[in-house]
A and B are shown apart, each in its own frame.
Chain A
Amino acid sequence: MSMFSGFQFRKISTPIHNLDPRIKFIFVIVIFAVAIMFNEFLVLVVLFFAHIPIVLVAKVQREWIRSMRGAAFLATIIFVTNLVFSYIYGGYQLAPWILENAIALTLRFVVLVESFSIFFLTTSPDHLGLALEQSHIPYEFCFAFTTAVRFVPVLAEEAQTIMDAQKARGLELEKGNFLKRIRNYIPILIPLIVSAIRRSLELAEAMESKAWGAIKKRTNLYELKVRKGDYILITLTIVMLIIAVYVRLYLSIPSLTSLISH
């Protein structure tokens, strides 16, 4: 569950936090696109490390490390699956490129988690809602989205409590083989889901009793403005996208294996 804590927003003011969420979101999408476009190890490594200055400026290194640690489990699964399948596919031969390929695909996942985690770590749910509204998305969707985001930390905290409660009854999550370990999470998932459903029903009732949707035209106290930092970021993003597309179309990226063997 520590993967969730990588998405927990903490209210502080840094250049990254003050960026317009719309621009930041475009940045994340572009990172996504680039990560999907390439499956070369070298590019993905660069993408991975390119996030580190952002993390440092935003002062979220502790949370970032935690989210990376949280992603480690899934990353391992991805790595092992890729390794096993390309091993079988490649005719039961363990060539270095198989290893490199598996690492690259794992890195791709890590980069995706990384950029999403940074986005959520530095964007307050309220700003996110505002951003959606100002993009003329119907308010119902904005509301559903912000609520979902807002409840992630609540759910994470609840998951932690449930885990404690079950451990206190002798549950050992790390015990047993792979399948058994997955099954170990049932005593945690069921109470979590039950309470999430119960909470959503309560929320619906609370909203109804506060006359949600009574007035069609809503006004906002705050408005988002695009500032200097945002222009810089969008420019960087566009440049990055152009370079990525150019490289993809016209250049070939050497693999680490070929570089070493030369």
Chain B
Amino acid sequence: MIETKDVYFTYPNGVEALKGVSLLINDGEFVAIMGQNGAGKTTLVKHFNGLLKPTKGEVLVDSINTRETSVAKLARNVGFVFQNPDHQLFCESVEEEIAFGLRNFGFEESLIKKRVDWALNLLDLTKYRQTSPFLLSGGERKRVALASVLAWDPKTVVLDEPTIGQDHRQKEKLRQFIVQLNTQGKTVVVVTHDVEFVAESNPRVVLMSEGKIVADGLAEKILTDEALLTKASIVPPQISQIFLQLSDLGFPANIIDVYQARDVLLKRLEARRK
């Protein structure tokens, strides 16, 4: 459980990036944090594992105040995958890279081997076991970074812009993977600009703007609220754009997903035919 209580954060250069954020993320939730550039999303999630400490207010992770513990202790439970994998890869082989975190957390050597095998397999990287991470493609490096965090099986996973620079197939795989993590009981927090990605997984959406939370609710509600989205400079998914324009024909306005849309349309056609 992660709870922020009226959190303010000011960077050393004086930029006030968070202005009173209160948010409760329960165990097993799937949350997408959205909002325009500079809204404070990255700043907020960096509070979840103690990388940043609030200037005012407090952050509780499993009822422990982040001020009273270390990043290393928090990171054991809150895995954080940074946007750019190049900011963390440094080992000679993918295998070593994945073992790095496990060694830091003091896992036994035999357990490390098991967890590495497991993570390699999970992200389809087994064939790159001995390869240098620097020789892999961008998408593959991203997967190595993800594997290196999932390897220690943190209870919560925070992903900052996981879909950037991924082709459609990788993105879909990643999406299914993230959803699967969540169904297996992990708390998942995703920071993203990708509306289609959010629309297809229908998580809880927390919308931020200028350091504050401006909306919080299910994706199908937030992604179909035109006034809100304009304010946060987000374009609704194409499917919901169509349904918003068709709403005076009696179509529901809260459709964001292609499969849902298909069902609604089929039902309508069926009714016509009769």
Contacts and interface: CB of A to CB of B under 8 A. Distances in A.
Given A167-B72, A172-B72, A194-B134, A187 B82 contact: no
B76 A170 contact: yes
A141 B101 CA distance: 43
Interface stretch (A28-36, A158-166, A239-247): A158-166
A76 interface: no
A73 to B, nearest CB: 18
Interface stretch (B83-91, B194-202, B250-258): B83-91
Nearest to B71: A167
B70 A164 contact: no
B88 A165 contact: yes
A217 interface: no
A169 interface: yes
Residue among B84, B88, B104, B134 facing the most chain A CB atoms (10 A cut-off): B88
A66 B11 CA distance: 14
Interface in B58-93: 70-72, 75-76, 79-80, 82, 84, 86-90
A191 B104 contact: no
B86 A191 contact: yes
A186 to B, nearest CB: 7
Given A168-B49, A168-B71, A194-B134, A162 B87 contact: yes
Nearest to A170: B104
What class of interface size applies to chain A in its complex with B?
20 to 34
A255 interface: no
Contacts of B149: 168-169
A167 B104 CA distance: 10
B89 A170 contact: no
Interface string A4-40: 0100001000000000000000000000000000000
Interface in A157-216: 158, 161-162, 164-172, 186-187, 190-191, 194-195, 198
Nearest to A172: B72
A164 B75 contact: no
Given A164-B51, A164-B82, A194-B134, A169 B101 contact: yes
Give the interface residue-count category, chain B.
20 to 34
B105 interface: yes
A161 B82 contact: yes
Given A161-B82, A172-B70, A172-B104, A167 B75 contact: yes
Interface of B: 12-13, 46, 49, 51, 70-72, 75-76, 79-80, 82, 84, 86-90, 100-101, 104-105, 134, 148-149, 152
A169 B87 contact: no
A161 B87 contact: yes
A62 B13 CA distance: 9
Contact of A165 (B76, B82, B104, B134): B82
8 contacts: A161-B82, A161-B87, A164-B82, A165-B88, A168-B79, A169-B75, A169-B88, A194-B86
Nearest to B73: A170
A171 B149 CA distance: 12
A172 B72 CA distance: 7
B54 to A, nearest CB: 16
Given A161-B82, A172-B104, A194-B134, A167 B51 contact: yes
Contacts of B104: 169-172
Interface string A125-168: 00000000000000000000000000000000010011011111
B148 A164 contact: no
A22 to B, nearest CB: 28
A167 B76 CA distance: 11
B90 A165 contact: no
Given A164-B46, A186-B90, A169 B134 contact: no
Given A170-B152, A187-B88, A194-B86, 17 more contacts: A162-B87, A162-B88, A165-B80, A165-B87, A166-B88, A167-B51, A167-B71, A168-B149, A169-B88, A170-B76, A170-B105, A171-B100, A171-B104, A172-B70, A172-B104, A186-B90, A195-B87
Most chain A C-beta atoms within 10 Å of own C-beta, residue among B79, B90, B148: B90
Contacts of A170: 72, 75-76, 101, 104-105, 152
